[in-house]
Chain A
C-alpha cells in the first residue's frame, strides 16, 4: 500500500463509548401487500472490493472509510461506511448522520450507484433472531437514506446476524464493534 493511499485513509478514533441519546426513531412499518408468487430477486454476484478499507481493531477504535480509487466516488473519500448500534436496538445514532447525509447526496447524484447495507449483531442471543436484528438495523440506515431522497431501488438491505464478527472478545467492547451496519457499494 502506497504512502499516498495510506494518507487517504482517514483513521478516525471512534470511541465505542459514544452512546449519545438518540432521537431518530426507527419504527418498523407493516408490510403493505402479501405476494405469494415467489419471484425471487437475484442480484448479480459481484462484490465491492477495492474502494473500501476495513480497519478492525480490537482496542475499541475502529473505522472504515471510502478511499479514492479514481472511480468517480471522490465526493465520498474519507466518509465512514460503518455505523454502530446500541444493544438490541436499531436506532441510527446521531454521530452517523453526517456520513449518511454524504452517502445520500452521492446516491441522489448518481442514480446508477447501488448500495448494499449489511447489518450485523453481536454474539448474544440466538442466531436467527440476530439475523432479523441485523436486518432491522440495515433497514434503519436504509430508511435514513431514502427519506433524504435516495431511491429505494438503489439500496438493498442484507443481514449477516452474528455470523461475521469483526471483534472476537466476549465483552462489551467487542460486542459494540460487532453491532453495526456496513455500507458497501456494489458495481
Chain B
C-alpha cells in the first residue's frame, strides 16, 4: 500500500513535469472497434531509485496511441511482477488482459541503463518475447520505451512499429503580426522537442532524407523563399536554391541522391529535380499551369504532384524517365499535396468537397476514395514509415494543431500544442 501511494505521488509529479515540458500532449479522440487488452506493468528498478522517465508508461502510451490496444489501468493490477516466475496468469485472466508486459531497469557504469522486458501471452501462459534488453544513456530512456513498443507492436500486429520515429513541424509563436517561426524536431509522440531553425521570416515544407540524417525545408530570407538542406545532428546548413521566384516543396528521392523541388525561374511553377552531389538541375514538367508539391513514389520511378492544368488542382503522376504525365485523381472538387504509402497501395491527398478540406485516401488498385478526417481546414498530410498512420495539420478552436488518423480512418488523435500555431508535420523514415 505504502509503495502504491508513493508511486502515485511520483506519477502525479511526472504528469506535471511532462505537461510543463512537452510541447505536444496526446489527446485520443477515437479508437478502433476491437482493441487488444494488454497490461504494461511498471518496470522494477533493480539497483537504482525510480527514474523520472517511466518506461512502462511510455510503452503504455505508445500502444494506446496506436489505437489497437486497450491498456489495463495500473490501479486495477493485482500484482506488479517484474519476472516471469512471479507472474500469476490467472490474475491477468481475471482482468481480461490478453498480454502482459513486464520489465526491469538496471543501472550500469557511465550513466548507462539496461532496460529488460518480456511479453507474455496470458492465454497460453507462455512468453511471446523472452527476456530481452537494451542499453541506453540516462537521457535516452524514452528511446528504450519506444524500442520496446516497436517490438511489441510488431510481435502482435505483424507490422513494424513506428514509435521510435520522429517528426518535424513548424510553429509560429508570439505576436501574430510578427511571429517567430521555429522548425522543430520531436519524438513521434511530441516529446523531446528541439528547435532546429528559428526565424522571423516564414518556414515551411520540411522534408526528411531517406536515412533521416538530413532535412530540407523552405525558409524566407530577405523576403524571398530559399531552399536549405541541413544536417540534423550538426546543424550544418547549405542553401541549395535561391532562384528568382518560387523555391519550394523540396522532396528527397528514395535513393537519397536527388531532391524534387518547385522553381518558377522560367516563368511559372514547374517541377525540377536537383542532383545533390553534382548540383545538376533537370526540369521535369513543362506546362503553363501551376505544377507543385512533388512527392516521390516509393520505388522512385514516379513523382506525384499537384497541377491545375485541368482547370482545378488535381493530382498527376510524372514518369521520371519518360517525363510522361497522367492524371491520377478524379474525385473531389480538388486534390492537392499527394503522397503515397510505403507499399505504393494508397495515395493520400488533401481533398476539397463542398468547401471543406479533408485528408482523403485513394486506393490505387481499386480507385476507391475514402475521406479520413472530419476536422477543419486539414492540410499537410505526412505518412508514418510503416504506412499505418497519417499525421496532418488542422485548425482546432482557431489554432493550428497537429492530428493523426489511421489509414483505415478508425483511430484519431490530436497533438495540441502548448504555444502558438503548429503546422507542416513531416514524419521521419525509420532510423538505421
Contact = CB atoms under 8 A, between A and B. Distances in A.
A38 B424 contact: no
A4 interface: no
B205 A157 contact: no
A175 to B, nearest CB: 11
Contacts of B265: 35, 38, 41
A39 to B, nearest CB: 9
Contacts of B336: 125-126, 129
B176 A159 contact: no
A135 B204 contact: no
Main secondary structure of the interface of A (DSSP, over half): loop
A163 interface: yes
Contacts of B280: 36
Contact of A31 (B242, B243, B266, B282): B266
B322 interface: no
B395 interface: yes
Interface string B250-276: 000000000000101111111000000
Interface in A117-136: 118, 123-129, 131-133, 135-136
Interface residues of A, number: 46
Interface residues of B, number: 56
Contacts of B243: 38, 40-41
Contacts of A112: none
Contact of A161 (B204, B268, B286): B204
Contacts of B241: 38, 40
Contact of A163 (B204, B221, B249, B395): B204
A2 interface: no
Contacts of B366: none
Interface stretch (A13-21, A42-50, A65-73, A99-107): A42-50
Contacts of A168: 176
Contacts of B282: 36
Contacts of A135: 245-246, 264, 268-269
Contacts of B158: none
Contact of A157 (B202, B245, B262): B245
B288 A29 contact: yes
B357 A129 contact: no
A156 interface: yes
Nearest to A34: B283
A161 B379 CA distance: 14
Nearest to A116: B223
A163 B202 contact: yes
Contact of A170 (B264, B287, B306, B377): B377
Contacts of A132: 246, 248, 262, 264, 269, 290, 292
- Looking at A123, A135, A157, the one whose CB has the most chain B CB atoms below 10 A away is A135
A47 B293 CA distance: 29
- Looking at A118, A131, A166, the one whose CB has the most chain B CB atoms below 10 A away is A131
Given A38-B243, A43-B224, A128 B268 contact: no
A156 B293 contact: no
A37 B8 CA distance: 65
B222 A47 contact: yes
Interface string B312-347: 110000000000000000000010110000000000
Nearest to A47: B223
Interface in B54-112: none
B417 interface: no
Contacts of A128: 204-205, 248-249, 262, 292-293, 306, 337
A32 B265 CA distance: 11
A36 B248 CA distance: 17
B244 to A, nearest CB: 4
Contacts of B225: 131, 158-159
B149 interface: no
Nearest to B176: A168
Interface in A140-187: 156-161, 163-164, 166, 168, 170
A126 B293 contact: yes
B267 A30 contact: yes
A124 B246 CA distance: 19
Contact of A126 (B224, B283, B288, B380): B380
B402 interface: no
Contacts of B242: 40-42
Contact of B377 (A30, A33, A116, A123): A123
A44 to B, nearest CB: 8
Contacts of B262: 128, 131-132
A129 B293 contact: yes
B204 A127 contact: yes
Contacts of B266: 31-35
24 contacts: A28-B268, A35-B266, A38-B281, A40-B242, A40-B244, A42-B242, A47-B222, A56-B177, A118-B223, A125-B352, A126-B380, A128-B249, A129-B292, A129-B336, A131-B204, A131-B225, A131-B249, A132-B246, A132-B264, A158-B245, A159-B246, A163-B220, A168-B176, A170-B376
4 tightest Cβ-Cβ pairs between the two chains A and B:
A163-B202, A31-B267, A41-B244, A31-B266
Given A131-B249, A132-B290, 8 more contacts: A34-B283, A35-B265, A40-B242, A43-B222, A123-B377, A128-B204, A128-B337, A160-B202
Interface of B: 176-177, 202, 204-205, 220-225, 241-246, 248-249, 262, 264-270, 279-283, 286-290, 292-293, 306, 312-313, 334, 336-337, 350, 352, 357, 376-377, 379-380, 395, 398, 423-424
